[in-house]
Amino acid sequence: MRTVPKGQTIYAFAPEISPVMSVEPQEPVIFETIDALGGQVQAEDDAVESLDFSRVNPATGPVRIVGAEPGDALAVEIRSIELADRGAIIAGPGMGVLGDVIERPVTRLLEVVGDTVQFAGLELPVAPMIGVIGVAPEEGSFPTGTAHRHGGNMDAREIGPGATVYLPVAQPGALLAMGDVHAVMGDGEVCVSACEVSASVRVVLRLVKGGAPRWPVVETAEEIILLVSLPTIDEALHEATSEAVRALQKALSLPFEEAYLLASLSANLGVSQLVDPNKTAKAVLPKTLVGPFERWCGASP
Ligand code: CA
């Protein structure tokens, strides 16, 4: 099994960053990830203002995928996520949705015990997910804390075991990296962080030649989730709606107007996160309607 060790981290997705490893499609790979706080929170008096932000949001990689070319979709099949036994959550003034309300910084360490996360005497079911996953963008450089077309810090709950993430390859070799695993998170990630844990993520990578989506797509057993990340949630929701209509047009060969009405009948719009530099909206379509992504990804428009 090929393993990308947790020391191999990047803080930006960019074309010029040298890959740490080359892997063949279909080859299983393990990414050892560090928590999004860079392992800096080890006690409840490690508050947010003491963090070195240059060490926040490390992503493990990048990995070059042999044969990946611009215009392909990189399929990342998430086989398993093994969690560390302790995570942390932080909040503070000026951060998160209620950054104007919270008066003092707060840090909590969270024990991960079996299938539960312990918080304030409660047992929350673990639901592991990858917060940051992406490839090198077409141009420029994106900090790992920022999401856009290349993926990045999308903080989508659906990016967990059993799901496949389709990313648009924009550079030869794709240059995949990931990190920021959460043991559990609610849509919105309202306080600015979730149960931030180190993890071991096992994936299988595949290429769909010519199948690049415009924005990252997640496929689960039941759903297609279209993820759009833009500076405001309003812009992101508008574009996610366009993506849902486009997906319906492609999958069902419908004209725009029919697909627009069908989107209103069948697409569930929502929020993945409201707290990162770009906000992430999602449009969720049932596979009973559109089928698997790979059946229609190459179709026009
Ligand atoms: Ca995140």
* Share above pLDDT 70 across residues of the chain, in percent, rounded to a whole number: 100
Cα of 193 from ligand 1 centre, angstroms: 7
Element (H, E) at 177: strand 176-182
Q: Collect residues with CB below 5 Å from ion ligand 1.
A: 131, 153, 155, 180
Q: Ligand 1 centroid to 64 CA: how many Å?
A: 23
* CA 180 to ligand 1 centroid distance, Å: 6
Strand ranges, E, within 18-121: 21-23, 28-33, 59-65, 73-83, 86-91, 106-113, 116-119
pLDDT at 17: 96
What pLDDT digit, counting tens, does each position of 43-62 carry?
888 877 788 888 999 999 99
User: How much distance in Å is there from the Cα of 293 to the middle of ligand 1?
Assistant: 25
- Best CA proximity match to 2, nearest among 66, 49, 75: 66
Could you read off the pLDDT of 200-256 as tens digits, one per residue? 999 999 999 999 999 999 999 999 999 999 999 999 999 999 999 999 999 999 999
State in Å: Cα 150 to ligand 1 middle. Answer: 15
Maximum Cα–Cα distance across the chain: 57
Asked whether the beta carbons of 105 and 49 are under 8 A apart, the reply is yes
Dist. CA 96 → ligand 1 center (Å)? 12
Task: Sort 15 into a burial class: Cβ within 10 Å, 0-12 / 13-18 / 19+.
Answer: middle
SS3 content of the chain, % helix, strand, coil (to 5): 15, 40, 45
**Rounded to two decimals, what is the model's pTM?**
0.97
CA 144 / ligand 1 centre spacing (Å): 9
> How high is the mean pLDDT of the chain?
96
Using one digit for the tens of pLDDT, what is the confidence trace for 252-287?
Answer: 999 999 999 999 999 999 999 999 999 999 999 999
- What are the two backbone dihedrals, phi and then psi, of residue 172, each rounded to the nearest 5 degrees? -55, 130
Distance 295 CA to ligand 1 centre (A): 30
